[in-house]
Structure 1
Amino acid sequence: MGHYHRGVQADEPVTILTVAREAGVSKTTASDALRGSGRVSERTRETVVAVAERLGYVPNGSARHLRKASTGTIGLHVPEVLTRSAYYMSFVFGVVEQAARHDYDVTLITAGQRRARPPRVDGLVLGDPLGGDPVVESLMATGLPAVTCERFPGARQADGVVWSEHALMLARLLDHLRSAGSVRPGLIVAGDESDWAASVHRGYQEWCGRNGVPPLVRRVSFDATGEEVRAAARALLGTGGGTPRTAGDALSAGGGTLGARDGLPMDALVCAPAGAATEVAPLLREAGGGVLLASCVDSAATRMADPPITAIDLRPREAGASCAELLFELLSGAAQPGTERVHPIELEIRASTTPRP
């Protein structure tokens, strides 16, 4: 605890009154000195700060928030389906860790909560908000400062956005697949209610257009089950089972007919939804193992797969921390409403896309 003077006992809790007594000033002066406010000389301020550091004084968080008319809490909401994913857990930890650095708590706002009034929080972090989600719509209508991870596809816009260049990264992934020998990559992707999924789909379509490749796409729901993902893969492979009734069910506009029937069978598959690549890997092996496989969401499962699966690392923990930090900057006035920041993501090339001889 340090060396005490003026009769401070070793087991005495260190309060602002303790600091004031040790520094020989009033409680108000000590408080003003530590807050950097009030009429306090620089010499007195330095003395009080030095005493506080020596005693190990830590300001009471509740008192600090009370002075700032703050709840000391931020709210966090993510699509309910993400609560089952490793990506979600990492994102949440990033938000919580950054909030702790600001002496804030985090409360999770779920779809099951019915509120007659806004949540008692200072601001909101909304992870990958879905267009048409009534919970997101109601939260954004509260007027509370809000930061989204990816843009919100709805009419309202958040005060801050942390987003990644998913279309650009997907193009890099497709270029890699082409260099590995692929001439007809396919894509399994969720609908455009998510800005992330829409960006991935757009990046794929643009790449196909630039390279003269007929698109080969299967859309699945945002919360697709393993069976739905496997059915999509069967449809793209043209192996029956999950083959759609019409080519339009599986292909984007201008895509032609499906799979091997157009003379250009799918030779690489990019799975956008989290966990989809590991779901379809056994199916691809059963089909002969000639299809390269990649995921738009990295995870422990893709890293530990046999063979390990090439994937885009979205760095969710860092994304969560960036969203929380931007929210705190908005709350303090260090950032202005409308601020957007790019969160870097990375391509991890692994054995599942080993170039063909």
Structure 2
Amino acid sequence: MPARRVTIRDVARAAGVSTTTVSAALTGNGRVSPETRDRIMRVAEECGYVASAAARSLRLGRSGAIGLYVPDRTVGFEYYAHLSRGAAEAALAHGFALTLLPAWPDAAPLRTLHLDGLIVCDPALGDPVAEVLRSLPVPMVTCERDPEPGASPAGVVASDHVAGTTVLLDHLAGQGAASIAALVPGEETSFGQETRRACRESDHDVRMVEVPLAYDPDDIARALAEARADEPDAIMVVPDGGALVALHLLQAEGVRVPEDLLLASYVDALSLQVARPTVTAVDIDPRATGASAVNALVDLVVGEVSGPVLTSVPTHLRVRESTSPA
């Protein structure tokens, strides 16, 4: 049989004090001398006492839960799996549960959820679920800037995608690419807006071909064919995992990477590190993004800061075989 859970009454009995005194010592509330508090904390640790999360949340007037909304169009992409993992780890470290919010057809039930705060990944223009979440009376932190006019989240965690894209384009040009084709998403998200801006403002010859952020293989095939019509020296694929699809399509046609064509991805992934050839990419650290979003939100929930909280996640270019011709 499992061991019985140690209660506050057990700690009070072992310490020779009342349960009220134990509660005051463990929560830091009430008048308890430092000596008594230290003794109770020591006894509680010796007894193996673990505070009830439900009771603590009730006492503080909080649910102890954080909502994470990942838009349905992005489910299955490696970036969001790592972001969710980083968020879950950080939430647990703070004593909060992480609740995944689906892209529910009827967004109204989301209003009935008991959450202390929200994290919204890649908020997009016209998303009805995000519209409901913005109206909830709890602090919201977004992973990437919210492009909706008038949106004012309490916190934003983002990378400088203009700078990251520019570094990758400079690398391709430095490797001898006189013309570059960029497969980029639309401007419904700030991620798409920033990567497109970098391409427009680049000092190099960059031609953009639009591909959905949440693509299917046919989308990549169509965009790749359109891009190759101009015979570029290099192709940069922005959406997560799209470069791997492009690599397989090119190899099926007998195109050698990097000998015949340089290939790079804006979003890094484990699959790109084990591909043959390995694919150059920009690491935008989704795990750190998820953890940073939770840390910012917890600070807002517990009143450490009042907002707005702005957190920048650095990007790093990972040069690999796909852009390194012999």
- TM class by smaller structure: over 0.9
Match of 1:288 in 2: 255
Match of 2:83 in 1: 91
- Report the Cα offset of residue 12 of structure 1: 5.2
1:277 is aligned to 2:243: yes
Aligned pair partner of 1:334 in 290, 295, 304: 304
SS of aligned partner of 1:200 = helix
- Report the Cα offset of residue 171 of structure 1: 1.1
- Report the Cα offset of residue 113 of structure 1: 4.9
Measure, in 1, the Cα distance between the counterparts of 2:244 and 2:299: 39
Aligned pair partner of 1:24 in 4, 7, 16: 16
Aligned pair partner of 1:325 in 292, 295, 302: 295
SS of aligned partner of 1:130 = coil
- Report the Cα offset of residue 345 of structure 1: 2.3
Larger Rg: 1
Measure, in 2, the Cα distance between the counterparts of 1:160 and 1:178: 36
> Unmatched 5+ residue regions in structure 1?
1-10, 239-258, 260-264
> Unmatched 5+ residue regions in structure 2?
none
Measure, in 2, the Cα distance between the counterparts of 1:13 and 1:192: 53
Letter in 2 for 1:216: R
1:50 is aligned to 2:52: no
TM-score w.r.t. length of structure 1: 0.85
Match of 2:122 in 1: 128
Measure, in 1, the Cα distance between the counterparts of 2:33 and 2:249: 74
1:175 is aligned to 2:170: yes
For residues 220-252 of structure 1, what are the alpha-carbon distances to aligned partners after superposition, in whole Å with 9 as ceiling and x for unaligned?
2222211111111111111xxxxxxxxxxxxxx
Measure, in 2, the Cα distance between the counterparts of 1:288 and 1:73: 50
Measure, in 2, the Cα distance between the counterparts of 1:12 and 1:144: 37
Letter in 2 for 1:119: L
- Report the Cα offset of residue 283 of structure 1: 3.4
Contact 1:29 1:40 in 2 (8 A): yes
Measure, in 2, the Cα distance between the counterparts of 1:190 and 1:295: 13
SS of aligned partner of 2:263 = strand
Letter in 1 for 2:239: P
Specify whether residues 113 and 325 from structure 1 end up closer, same or farther in structure 2 by C-alpha distance, changes over 3 A only: farther
- Report the Cα offset of residue 297 of structure 1: 1.2
Measure, in 1, the Cα distance between the counterparts of 2:248 and 2:44: 62
1:348 is aligned to 2:321: no
Q: Aligned runs of 1:209-220 on 2, under 5 Å?
A: 211=203, 213-220=204-211
Aligned pair partner of 1:233 in 207, 224, 227: 224
Measure, in 1, the Cα distance between the counterparts of 2:45 and 2:312: 37
- Report the Cα offset of residue 214 of structure 1: 3.8
Count of matched residue positions in the alignment of Structure 1 and Structure 2: 318
Contact 2:183 2:236 in 1 (8 A): yes
Match of 1:267 in 2: 233
Match of 2:197 in 1: 202
SS of aligned partner of 1:216 = strand
For residues 178-202 of structure 1, what are the alpha-carbon distances to aligned partners after superposition, in whole Å with 9 as ceiling and x for unaligned?
1211111110011011111211111
Measure, in 2, the Cα distance between the counterparts of 1:224 and 1:13: 50
State the Cα RMSD in Å: 1.7
Aligned pair partner of 2:281 in 288, 301, 311: 311
Measure, in 2, the Cα distance between the counterparts of 1:180 and 1:219: 24
- Report the Cα offset of residue 112 of structure 1: 2.0
SS of aligned partner of 1:215 = strand
Contact 1:147 1:161 in 2 (8 A): yes
Contact 2:168 2:266 in 1 (8 A): no
Measure, in 1, the Cα distance between the counterparts of 2:311 and 2:118: 17
- Report the Cα offset of residue 288 of structure 1: 3.5
Contact 1:118 1:142 in 2 (8 A): no
Contact 2:155 2:308 in 1 (8 A): yes
Contact 1:284 1:291 in 2 (8 A): no
Measure, in 2, the Cα distance between the counterparts of 1:341 and 1:149: 10
For residues 62-82 of structure 1, what are the alpha-carbon distances to aligned partners after superposition, in whole Å with 9 as ceiling and x for unaligned?
000000111111111011121
Percent same amino acid among aligned pairs? 37
